[in-house]
Amino acid sequence: MLQTQKPVILEINTCVWLQSINLCHESPQTLAQVPDAALDHIAGIGTDFLWLMGVWTRSPQGREQALALLPQFREALPNIEAGDVVASPYAVFDWQVAPELGGRQALADLRGRLRERGIGLILDYVPNHVARDHRWLYRHPDWFIQARQQDLQERPADFFAAQTWAGRRIFAHGRDPWFPGWTDTAQVNVFNPDYRQAVRQVLLDLAAQCDGLRCDMAMLLCNQVFATTWRDHLDQADAAPEEFWQQLIPAIRENFPDFLIVAEVYWDMEAELLRLGFDYCYDKSLYDALLYSDVQRLRAMLSAPVTYQNRLLRFTENHDERRAISAFGEARSRAAFALAATLPGALLLHDGQLEGRRIRLPVQLARKPEEVPHPDHEDFQRRVLRELRSAPLRHGQWRWFDVLPIHEGDDSHASLIAYGWASAGDWRLLIVNLGAHTAMGRVPLSAWPEIGTGLWHLEDCIDDACYVREGPEISRHGLGIILPARGAHLFRFRPA
């Protein structure tokens, strides 16, 4: 299904999406009843894959815990009611499509309708933990990290007691080693061979229902990370002979050769997860460089081989991060988006990002607040997205360009980033000013010898401005650029 080097993945919170649709209907709608207009809207963005976040059956106990947080949720949804609260989608109670969403058949119907529009379906896989009331705890307690009563007494936020067929046991909550445990979850023991065999069957069943999986916190399953995190609760005999992902990803590939597997990954472990078999990895490093306007770090990242960059998932927003327009500010979020969207690799969009939503919704809420849209903000992003469908960005060759000073002693060019895409007589050039002040520079384009003769129209896809430039001049001496703070050009080249 994947026919482009720059796929666009749109993340949608499934419960929130259906709730919004239900407002227009007298009876509750399932995934099978999503209106054509909603799917046409998704296709119109240029979506290659729809990531439906939160389709699996959620934990009853997890919802009770979420209800206790209702006062905290008022910051995001001031008029919140108990019915707006659901369990976290990352505390999975059962790997079955939730009944309230219509179950497995409803998901299959939706998948078929997406395919008619050329859109693949991505779902979540949460490998590190399950809900603390998942049936596996009672039936297979040895599949989980267990602890002592003393651990529970000393660290009650990281451990809990539960009844199993073998009696009362103390289990660990799933956690990132740098943070307290997720108290609605139970930590699996990924070194347990019986667990690995069971989860292999689960993964094959999930893969049969979609076109790709987004694997939550995938680096936590790496042998070294897992052994370090849980070293006080593992026996020496527990060490796994093979990496979790190296054992399971080939099983998916064998049955579903074109399947897309995406890793949520942090701590600069992208290369390791790609080595283990993932198609794409989150590029949190890019996000951080953009957030802190670290141009030097960004340039270093762009010097990486394009074969590596092609396997990174770029983003300026997702459900774990603040809304882009709030995190970056309006002008800076546009510059960051232009970069993230047009770099090599895949692009992750978050529902509401184009409209400029500012409120980050906790994943335990099934209703979003009313917000004032930002038409100019949406227009900017849609203009950039349209260019992602062009031949250079979908099938062409990418390269980055040096930016040189225009005048001696003027170092404002240091805040400019420039790169371009070329494909059979078709070119796109992006120049972004990440600085807080106007910047000037020149971009020599001799690496594109075809534009070194004649006159050229440089049409800016962002604001429809058009500039006429001489080919020999911009090739030898460089294209002169003056950009305001957080400004951007995205040029098409047309012979004059």
Q: What is the CATH number of the domain that holds 432?
A: 2.60.40.1180
Report residue 476 as tokens: 């030898």
pLDDT of residue 237: 62
Domain annotation covers residue 62: yes
pLDDT of residue 68: 94
Kindly indicate the confidence band of residue 26, based on its pLDDT and cuts at 50, 70 and 90.
low
Kindly indicate the confidence band of residue 1, based on its pLDDT and cuts at 50, 70 and 90.
very low
CA atoms of 178 and 224, how far apart (whole Å): 15
List, for residues 208-238, the tens digit of each pLDDT value: 999 999 999 999 999 999 999 998 898 766 6
List, for residues 399-410, the tens digit of each pLDDT value: 999 999 998 888
List, for residues 303-353, the tens digit of each pLDDT value: 999 999 999 999 999 999 999 999 999 999 999 999 999 999 999 999 999
List, for residues 375-387, the tens digit of each pLDDT value: 999 999 999 999 9
Single out the residue in 393, 427, 453 at which a domain terminates.
Answer: 393
pLDDT of residue 2: 47
CB count in 10 Å sphere of residue 369: 14
For the cut 70, the answer to whether the pLDDT of residue 197 exceeds it is: yes
Domain annotation covers residue 310: yes
Report residue 119 as tokens: 């859109």
The whole-number average pLDDT for the span 43-65 is: 96
Computed on alpha carbons and rounded to an integer, the radius of gyration of the chain in Å comes to 24
The CATH number for 213's domain is 3.20.20.80
CA atoms of 411 and 258, how far apart (whole Å): 48
Residue 348 and residue 301 in one domain: yes
CA atoms of 91 and 84, how far apart (whole Å): 17
List, for residues 150-182, the tens digit of each pLDDT value: 999 999 999 999 999 999 999 999 999 998 899
Domain annotation covers residue 76: yes
Query: What is the domain count for the chain?
Result: 2
List, for residues 419-466, the tens digit of each pLDDT value: 999 998 899 999 999 999 999 999 999 999 999 999 999 999 999 999
pLDDT of residue 69: 94
Strand pairing class (427-433; 260-263): unpaired
Tell me what percent of the residues of the chain surpass a pLDDT of 90.
91
Residue 236 and residue 383 in one domain: yes
Domain annotation covers residue 28: yes
pLDDT of residue 235: 78
Residues found in the chain: 496
Residue 90 and residue 106 in one domain: yes
Tell me what percent of the residues of the chain surpass a pLDDT of 70.
97
Residue 356 and residue 472 in one domain: no
pLDDT of residue 399: 94
Structure-token match 């990002």, residue found? 353
CB hemisphere CA count around 355 (13 angstroms): 10
Residue 13 and residue 124 in one domain: yes
Residue 15 and residue 119 in one domain: yes
Kindly indicate the confidence band of residue 241, based on its pLDDT and cuts at 50, 70 and 90.
confident
For the cut 50, the answer to whether the pLDDT of residue 265 exceeds it is: yes
Domain annotation covers residue 146: no
Kindly indicate the confidence band of residue 47, based on its pLDDT and cuts at 50, 70 and 90.
very high
State the pTM of this model: 0.95
3-state secondary structure 70-121: HHHHCCCCCCCCHHHECCCCCCEEEEEECHHHCHHHHHHHHHHHHHHCCCEE
For the cut 90, the answer to whether the pLDDT of residue 23 exceeds it is: no
Residue 367 and residue 410 in one domain: no
pLDDT of residue 5: 77
Domain annotation covers residue 243: yes
Contact (Cβ atoms closer than 8 angstroms) between residue 418 and residue 403? yes
Domain annotation covers residue 452: yes
Residue 221 and residue 284 in one domain: yes
Kindly indicate the confidence band of residue 35, based on its pLDDT and cuts at 50, 70 and 90.
very high
Residue 350: domain span: 8-129+189-393
Residue 345 and residue 258 in one domain: yes
Contact (Cβ atoms closer than 8 angstroms) between residue 76 and residue 112? no
For the cut 60, the answer to whether the pLDDT of residue 3 exceeds it is: no
Residue 322 and residue 377 in one domain: yes
What letter does residue 329 receive in the DSSP assignment? -
Single out the residue in 330, 365, 393 at which a domain terminates.
Answer: 393
Domain annotation covers residue 179: no
For the cut 50, the answer to whether the pLDDT of residue 27 exceeds it is: yes
Single out the residue in 338, 358, 393 at which a domain terminates.
Answer: 393
Residue 382 and residue 273 in one domain: yes
Residue 468 and residue 366 in one domain: no
For the cut 70, the answer to whether the pLDDT of residue 15 exceeds it is: yes
